[in-house]
């Protein structure tokens, strides 16, 4: 009797482990940092893409109700896909769209903008990728929606699409 109970318990334990591991197999094994982190954007110093003048982030994020910070690069293919979405966002008057050009050649970045249009109010550069790390980003493209207090309302990892455009518009409402 005792052996039977022990045997059943062992079987139950193994079934439990099997189910847990099987469920775990279906989970994505790619870790994505906490996308919705209600943090305030860290201050940083950067250079303007066109003028080359060094600017403090506190002077960039002023005078608007909402800010959209988009990390992009001319060498990044998904950035081309999301560019049309950014062009649509440009027309929204309640936001200031800021582009952070990530590890890019300035000439290539300018060519990219000339070819696809400029949706940004300002383009700043991150030549060695350290600003992106300070912001908690991990690659391109990545987009942050911030309020006037520079609090991160939403973070989109990967290219923006129609669904994310709707989400941004919902936040702005």
Question: Total binding residues for another protein by CB under 8 A?
Answer: 17
Residue 103 touching another protein (CB under 8 A): yes
Applying CB under 8 A, the span of 8-16, 54-62, 124-132, 159-167 interacting with another protein comes to 124-132
Q: Are 94 and 66 in contact (CB under 8 A)?
A: yes
CA distance 72 to 162: 18
CA distance 90 to 30: 32
Name residue, tokens 């300070």.
Answer: 134
Per-position x/- string for 23-62, each x denoting binding to another protein as judged by CB under 8 A, each - no binding: ------xxx-xx----x-----------------------
Q: Compare residues 95 and 102 and give the one whose CB is closer to another protein.
A: 102
Q: Are 73 and 79 in contact (CB under 8 A)?
A: yes
Which helix (H) or strand (E) is 54 found in, with range? strand 54-56
- Considering only residues 127 to 166 of the shown chain, the ones binding another protein according to CB under 8 A are 128-130, 132-136, 138-139
Give the residues lining the site for another protein (CB under 8 A): 29-31, 33-34, 39, 103, 128-130, 132-136, 138-139
């Amino acid at each position: 009797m005792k052996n039977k109970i022990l045997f059943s318990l062992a079987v139950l334990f193994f079934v439990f482990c099997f189910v847990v591991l099987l469920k775990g197999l279906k989970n994505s094994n790619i870790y994505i940092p906490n996308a919705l982190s209600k943090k305030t954007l860290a201050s940083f110093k950067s250079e303007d893409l066109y003028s080359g003048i060094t600017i403090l982030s506190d002077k960039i994020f002023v005078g608007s109700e909402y800010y959209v910070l988009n990390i992009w690069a001319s060498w990044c293919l998904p950035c081309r896909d999301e560019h049309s979405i950014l062009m649509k966002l440009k027309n929204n008057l309640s936001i200031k769209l800021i582009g952070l050009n990530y590890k890019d050649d300035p000439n290539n970045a300018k060519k990219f903008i000339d070819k696809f249009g400029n949706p940004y109010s300002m383009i700043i550069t991150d030549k060695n990728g350290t600003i992106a790390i300070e912001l908690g980003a991990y690659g391109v493209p990545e987009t942050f929606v911030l309020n006037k207090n520079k609090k991160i309302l939403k973070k989109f990892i990967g290219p923006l699409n129609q669904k994310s455009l709707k989400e941004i518009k919902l936040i702005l409402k």
